[in-house]
């Protein structure tokens, strides 16, 4: 069997990070991200034919008493106070240190300098289709997915089902370029977002992960950060920002779309960690939605939740799918039937790499599957 050509993913990623377009991106993201790192991935961003997230130059917002913006890469020169000969040595040291800290702090990204107004509230945008072509994935030399092709139609929920270890999460992470952040990982194939390969060499790495948001199995809000700030955190980490007078609107819109607004509108300044598990998961969905992803990937988003929270998330998904294409991994066959219109059954049989056994209309796959293995799986006979 011929092996498909592999991207040197890590090298490409390193090049990407070195590029100016990624100057704001976080240094690393791994398969089970920390909150801050996950946040940078669960975000959305405009595609070239849309209204860009950042509309005005920084100086437009810097008008005020902040003075002109200082380039962040300019050398830092602190004016040190002359030592006081009569003071103990430690006091002089502290005074001079504070002067340096003050100078550096002034050079740090400042809200007034960096908050470039944005048109982010209009949630209507063209629905995006996602198409995976001949995707293969490796961890080291271990081939875990073998030439998987799948079309995830615009404005639909596509469910990925299959037994543990068959490569569903790996496939999902390939859809927004997170797989390549695992040090030993590599891949081959194409992922087309509206016909454009997100792995195209001249396309910045972060483009894909901005347009294609991700929600993880375990809710991962910043626990000490307020609910309000959790929602806008994704924007900040991707270098996008919003005018202060539109921030409230963005937070409300995102929380409403995530089905959380009514439960938190009176405590937006309370810590995100104080919410229930189901509310935290919806907060993470709101954080993803704040940057207007065109596709939302969800990896077992309800597996840690009670039935009521699960139902609320499912309702949220059904509301969202009118303007965001959704791909969900689930082990819950009822959930797959409730929320998805398309379904793909993955299987890695007897030490072989994962592949799609059957794909199609969800109702048909559950009522009249073509492959006997699909029949057995959807009827709970294995996995």
Ligand X SMILES: Nc1ncnc2c1ncn2[C@@H]1O[C@H](COP(=O)(O)OP(=O)(O)OP(=O)(O)O)[C@@H](O)[C@H]1O
By the criterion CB under 6 A, which residues form the site for ligand X?
A: 31, 139, 144, 162, 164-170, 182
State which residue, 77 or 164, has the beta carbon closest to ligand X.
Answer: 164
Please return the burial class of 192, using the count of CB atoms within 10 Å of its CB with bins 0-12, 13-18 and 19+. middle
Query: Which of the choices ligand X, Mg ion, none does residue 139 contact, using the CB cut-off of 5 to 8 A by kind?
Result: ligand X
Q: Return the residue nearest Mg ion (CB atom).
A: 169
Cα separation, 142 vs 207, in Å, equals 28
State which residue, 157 or 264, has the beta carbon closest to ligand X.
Answer: 157
State which residue, 168 or 257, has the beta carbon closest to ligand X.
Answer: 168
Number of residues that bind Mg ion (CB under 5 A): 1
Cα separation, 378 vs 370, in Å, equals 12
Tokens of 200: 């195209």
Cα separation, 175 vs 215, in Å, equals 13
Residue 317 Cβ vs ligand X, minimum distance, rounded to whole Å:
19
Residue 89 Cβ vs Mg ion, minimum distance, rounded to whole Å:
58
* Residue where the block lists tokens 């007897």: 350
- Cα of first residue to Cα of last residue in the chain, in angstroms, is 28
Cα separation, 65 vs 45, in Å, equals 31
Query: Which of the choices ligand X, Mg ion, none does residue 158 contact, using the CB cut-off of 5 to 8 A by kind?
Result: none
Q: Is 339:317 a contact under the CB 8 Å cutoff?
A: yes
Query: Which of the choices ligand X, Mg ion, none does residue 54 contact, using the CB cut-off of 5 to 8 A by kind?
Result: none
Please return the burial class of 2, using the count of CB atoms within 10 Å of its CB with bins 0-12, 13-18 and 19+. exposed
Cα separation, 191 vs 159, in Å, equals 17
Query: Which of the choices Mg ion, ligand X, none does residue 250 contact, using the CB cut-off of 5 to 8 A by kind?
Result: none
Residue 52 Cβ vs ligand X, minimum distance, rounded to whole Å:
34
State which residue, 169 or 254, has the beta carbon closest to Mg ion.
Answer: 169
330 binding Mg ion? (CB under 5 A): no
Query: Which of the choices Mg ion, ligand X, none does residue 165 contact, using the CB cut-off of 5 to 8 A by kind?
Result: ligand X
State which residue, 54 or 170, has the beta carbon closest to Mg ion.
Answer: 170
Pick the stretch among 20-28, 162-170, 186-194, 263-271 that binds Mg ion (CB under 5 A).
162-170
Closest of 300, 342, 296 to residue 317, by C-alpha = 296
Write down the H helix ranges in 81-226.
89-107, 111-114, 168-174, 205-211
β-strand 325-329 against 157-161: which pairing, if any?
parallel
Closest of 226, 164, 156, 195 to residue 354, by C-alpha = 164
Query: Which of the choices Mg ion, ligand X, none does residue 170 contact, using the CB cut-off of 5 to 8 A by kind?
Result: ligand X
Residue 182 Cβ vs ligand X, minimum distance, rounded to whole Å:
5
State which residue, 222 or 359, has the beta carbon closest to ligand X.
Answer: 359
Residue 199 Cβ vs Mg ion, minimum distance, rounded to whole Å:
22
State which residue, 44 or 219, has the beta carbon closest to ligand X.
Answer: 219
> Beta-carbon neighbour count of residue 375 at 10 Å?
15
Q: Is 45:210 a contact under the CB 8 Å cutoff?
A: yes
Angle at 325 between CA 214 and CA 168, to 5 degrees: 50
Cα separation, 378 vs 383, in Å, equals 9
Residue 372 Cβ vs ligand X, minimum distance, rounded to whole Å:
21
169 binding Mg ion? (CB under 5 A): yes
State which residue, 90 or 382, has the beta carbon closest to ligand X.
Answer: 382
Residue 275 Cβ vs Mg ion, minimum distance, rounded to whole Å:
24
Residue 183 Cβ vs ligand X, minimum distance, rounded to whole Å:
8
Query: Which of the choices Mg ion, ligand X, none does residue 220 contact, using the CB cut-off of 5 to 8 A by kind?
Result: none
**Which residues form the interface with Mg ion (CB under 5 A)?**
169
């Amino acid at each position: 069997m011929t092996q498909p050509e592999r991207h040197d993913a890590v090298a490409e990623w390193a090049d990407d990070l070195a590029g100016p377009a990624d100057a704001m991106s976080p240094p690393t993201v791994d398969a089970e991200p920390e909150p801050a790192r996950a946040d940078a991935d669960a975000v959305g961003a405009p595609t070239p034919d849309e209204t860009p997230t950042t509309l005005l130059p920084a100086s437009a917002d810097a008008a005020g008493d902040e003075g002109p913006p200082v380039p962040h890469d300019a050398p830092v020169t602190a004016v040190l106070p002359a030592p006081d000969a009569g003071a103990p040595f430690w006091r002089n040291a502290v005074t001079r240190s504070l002067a340096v800290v003050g100078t550096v702090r002034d050079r740090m990204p400042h809200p007034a300098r960096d908050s470039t107004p944005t048109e982010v509230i209009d949630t209507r945008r063209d629905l995006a289709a996602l198409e995976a072509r001949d995707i293969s994935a490796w961890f080291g030399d271990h081939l875990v997915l073998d030439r998987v092709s799948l079309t995830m139609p615009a404005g639909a929920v596509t469910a990925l089902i299959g037994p543990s270890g068959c490569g569903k999460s790996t496939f999902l992470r390939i859809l927004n370029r997170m797989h390549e952040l695992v040090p030993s990982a590599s891949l081959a194939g194409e992922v087309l977002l509206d016909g454009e390969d997100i792995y195209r060499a001249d396309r910045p790495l972060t483009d894909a992960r901005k347009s294609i948001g991700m929600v993880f199995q375990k809710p991962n809000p910043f626990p000490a950060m307020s609910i309000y700030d959790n929602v806008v955190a994704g924007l900040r980490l991707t270098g996008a920002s919003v005018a202060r007078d539109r921030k409230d609107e963005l937070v409300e819109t995102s929380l409403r779309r995530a089905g959380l607004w009514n439960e938190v509108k009176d405590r937006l300044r309370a810590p995100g960690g104080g919410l229930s598990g189901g509310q935290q998961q919806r907060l993470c969905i709101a954080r993803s939605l704040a940057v207007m992803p065109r596709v939302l990937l969800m990896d077992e988003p309800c597996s840690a939740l009670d039935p009521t929270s699960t139902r609320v998330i499912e309702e949220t998904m059904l509301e969202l799918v009118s303007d965001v294409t959704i791909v969900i991994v689930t082990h819950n066959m009822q959930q797959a039937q409730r929320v998805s219109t398309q379904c793909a059954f993955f299987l890695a049989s007897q030490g072989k790499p994962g592949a799609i056994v059957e794909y199609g209309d969800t109702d048909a796959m559950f009522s009249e599957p073509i492959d006997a293995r699909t029949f057995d799986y959807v009827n709970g006979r294995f996995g």
